Structure 1
Amino acid sequence: MATTTLTQPATTNPKPTQPKAGARVLPLDGLRTLAIIGVVLYHLHVPGFSGGFVGVNVFFVLSGYLITSLLLKEQRQTGTIRLGRFWVRRVLRLYPTLLVVVLAAVTLWPLVGDYTYNDLDAWPAAFVALTYTGNFARAYAHLSQGVFAPGWSLAMEEQFYLVWPPILSFLLWKGFRRRSLAWFGAAAVVASCALAFFLYATPKGIATPDIYFSPVANVAPLMMGCVLALALTHERARAFFAGRIGSTSAWVGFVGIVLIAILIGNSRLIGDDWKNEPSFFGLVLPAVGLATTLLIAGVVSRPTLVGSFLGVRPLAWFGRNVSYSLYLWHMIVMALLDPFVAGLTGKFVMLGAAMLVAVGSHFVIEKPFLTIKKRFEPSSWSVERKMPAEQALTLEAKQESTNQTSVQSLKV
């Protein structure tokens, strides 16, 4: 899962009320909180929260947007994208907690190994989790990993991180315009949705269709975030969302996500067999991605009421610091406590316990490695954090102008 430190898109004449350059985009952190809570409540089988799919798609769009924004920022400021350093930062951000969670689950396997659906023994399940191949295990071998099951979405993201950054770096190096890359990404979104629709095959029992775990047929939400990041580098797009349309976009996106989550969570509205409909995976879930894209475009471009709600400090702090650990730990906590609690109250006891474990995991495991991760960031990022917002924007504009001049010289 990507972090959320990046420069806010700025219009040609930035207003005084715009967020400072280099500041955290707090509404995006708050959105992460709502997404992860929705996923955990889905796994807890809380009535009305059958829309865990919604939370996962929100995370995918966020990841695509944030990772692409950071890559574009590095290329804009330094003239290049250092892929090795990018991948090292990803490993330091994601792998330490994953490794500890896997070791804990293997140690506790006699207690957690039989929880929910599981087709693998401890070490094979651990191998799948640590190699980020959980989506392949689900899609092609039809194997469920039990408490490691949430790792399929992490696998999707990591596989995307291996493919997209080199493609983006190469095309930028070859002089492709970002507008052209955005259209390329939009075409990939349409193709992915079409594949999800036409390659759909009805699963057995209550299983999820194979196409949902495909890194190609389900790449649409990740690419939507990438397209938005590319689009917001264009002055017209920034100006478009910095106006009143930005507030409308944020509201439409937020309401869209909520309505789809309610729809999926209420069987009386959508029925119990919604997983058996190709339109759900080819249209409804991509609609979640589109709504998330509109929401992000609005809240990063101008102050909005939705952004103020999502940017509330406790909500944002939790999303920034705890969401990843909670995603990894919650199944193990549920497996340990489920035999001892019952009813709706018991479900929220498990949720609270999982949150406490995740908070501890952040401070003990994640935080030390995040400090190391900063050493592999471009030096210009650290300089930008220390300087005033206006100076940072001016510096970035000068660097972008210099890079564009260099590209034009090469073409001549």
Structure 2
Amino acid sequence: MNSASHSRLQALDGLRGVSILLVLISHAWLGHIVPGGLGVTIFFFISGYIITRLMIAEWDKTEHISISKFYLRRFFRLMPALIVFVLISLGVMQLAGVQWQWIELMSVFFYFANYFGIFVGFSGDVLPPPLSITWSLAVEEHFYMLFPFVFSVCIAFPRRFLAGLLTFIIAILLWRLYLVYGVGLDHLLHYRIYKATDTRADSIMYGTCFALIQARYPVWAAYFAQRKAAIAGLLLMLASLLIRDENFRESWRYSIQGIALTLMFTYLITASNFVSHLLASQTMVYIGRISYSLYLYHWLVFGIITFWLPDWSLPARFCLMMLASFALADGSQRLVEAPFLRLGQRYLQAGTKR
């Protein structure tokens, strides 16, 4: 791997670190100041970008996509840490006297936690439900249940592929507009738009589109490398955060943030500037690499503090949440994620040799 490629990956990890910090700090009783929802949107964008980029590289090398290996890689990447997290969460829920149901576990492991949380709800009133944080994993997995098959059929026709993705992005925006202005937020369940796949999958598609443009249309991609594109993206992002109208936030906001990230992404990741160097710093890269476990465990820690230590001062709760979340995430990454990733790599390599 050349140094430029390595640097890009470092900055990408750093941007993932920014996304999880937004979520973590927002949930640490500072949601009125820090936009945690933006962190999830950034994470969706990065996910779509990375996976599409890897699939394009595999296609260009072999003219083939191994769908079975794609799902095996995701299994070894996500499932071991998720299983351990769920077991620990069940123990905490038991100590708190929460009577959970098996359907809740099914919603986590069969990836319908987002719709379960919207339409049914996880157990627990005083203790914030630890398993509810898996809603975003469900959104991603719904997208990746179909995407490898669509990619295999469409990648040979990149212009049509890109047009199809943009069509779906527009369709999801129109669907959100209908729900907000046609049905009305007062008639929708809480988090109906924020957590549902049919209203949030476009955040992943923006990253997918950008990876496709970068790989197949370098002339178009060159535009996004210009400083004026990054400035335009920054202004759009600021507008999406400053406009506080709830109808706007549940309809246009996600689309504007997707466009803003597309405009800023090259400047943040591949250009050489202060921001990209900061993202590629050792600290930010570390946070990005433990971001999956940090995302899971920070919500469990939040629930523990809320249930058992509600009278602590905000600074004390904040510091404890940061320390405990990072400690659990680091342990998960070292003891669960990394070993199973190595096991998965050996398994896939052995399968290739056979």
Q: TM (normalized to structure 1)? A: 0.75
Give the aligned partner of residue 359 of structure 1: 330
Question: Which amino acid in structure 2 is aligned with residue 344 of structure 1?
Answer: L
Deviation at 1:303, TM superposition (A): 1.9
Describe the shift of the 1:241–1:202 C-alpha distance in structure 2 as closer, same or farther (beyond 3 A): closer
Partner of 1:368: 339
Partner SS, residue 200 of structure 2: coil
Candidates 274, 299, 304, aligned match of 1:305? 274
| Matched residue, 1:219 | 201
Question: Structure 2: how far apart are the matches of 1:54 and 1:296?
Answer: 15
8 Å CA contact 2:193, 2:200 repeated in 1: yes
Deviations 1:342-361 (A, max 9, x none): 23211232122111111111
Distance apart, 1:218 and its partner CA:
1.8
Matching residue of 2:43: 59
CA contact (8 A) 1:183 1:227 kept: no
User: What is the percentage of aligned positions where both structures have the same residue?
Assistant: 27
What does the per-residue CA deviation read over 1:22-57, in whole Å, with 9 as the maximum and x for residues that have no partner? 665222211111211111222222153352211111
Deviations 1:52-103 (A, max 9, x none): 2111111111111111111111001111000000000001000101000111
String of CA shifts for 1:102-147, please: whole Å, max 9, x gaps. 1111122133565xxxxx72533222112111112134x2424611
Distance, in Å, in 2 between the alignment partners of 1:211 and 1:334 is 24
1:64–1:376 Cα change, 3 Å: farther
What is the 5 A alignment of 1:1-400? Answer: 19-21=3-5, 25-46=9-30, 48-49=32-33, 51-112=35-96, 121-139=100-118, 141-144=119-122, 146-172=129-155, 175-176=156-157, 178-200=158-180, 201-202=183-184, 208-233=190-215, 234-242=217-225, 245=226, 247-254=227-234, 256-257=236-237, 260-261=240-241, 263=242, 270=244, 274-275=245-246, 277=247, 279-320=248-289, 322-338=290-306, 339-340=308-309, 342-345=312-315, 346-375=317-346
**Pair 252,27 (structure 1): closer, same or farther in 2 beyond 3 Å:** farther
Number of positions where the alignment pairs a residue of Structure 1 with one of Structure 2: 339
Q: Contact 2:179–2:185 (CA<8 Å) still a contact in 1?
A: no
Residue type of the alignment partner of 1:212: Y
- Separation (CA, whole Å) in 2 of partners of 1:26 and 1:108: 35
Give the match's secondary structure for 1:199: helix
Structure 2 distance, partners of 1:205, 1:325, is: 35
Name whichever structure is richer in helix by fraction: 2
Unaligned runs of 5+ in 1: 1-6, 8-17, 115-119, 264-268, 380-412
Q: What amino acid is the match of 2:112?
A: T
Q: Is the 8 A contact 2:224 2:230 kept in 1?
A: no
- Ranges in structure 2 where 5+ consecutive residues have no aligned partner: 124-128
Contact kept? 2:154, 2:160, Cα under 8 Å: no
Partner AA of 2:302 in structure 1: M
CA shift digits 1:297-321 (9 cap, x unpaired)? 333443233212222121112112x
In 2, the alpha carbon distance for the partners of 1:105 and 1:54 equals: 26
Deviation at 1:205, TM superposition (A): 10
Aligned-partner Cα distance in 1 for 2:40–2:107: 20
Give the alignment's Cα RMSD to 1 decimal: 2.7
Aligned equivalents of 1:24, 1:90: Cα separation in 2: 22
* Cα distance in 1, alignment partners of residues 110 and 71 from structure 2: 15
Q: CA 1:91 to 1:152, structure 2 compared with 1: closer, same or farther past 3 Å?
A: same
Which letter maps to 2:144?
Answer: Y
Q: Distance in 1 between matches of 2:187 and 2:326?
A: 32
TM-superposed CA distance for 1:337, in Å, is 2.7
What whole-Å deviation, never above 9, does each CA across 1:347-388 have from its counterpart, x for those lacking one? 232122111111111101111012123346789xxxxxxxxx
Assess, with a 3 A threshold, how the Cα gap between structure 1 residues 255 and 45 changes in structure 2: closer, same or farther.
farther
Alpha-carbon distance between aligned partners in 1 of 2:278 and 2:235, rounded to the nearest angstrom? 13
1:250 deviates by 3.6
Distance in 1 between residues matched to 2:112 and 2:328, nearest whole Å: 25
Q: Is the 8 A contact 2:270 2:276 kept in 1?
A: no
Please, what TM-score do these two structures have when normalized by structure 2? Answer: 0.86
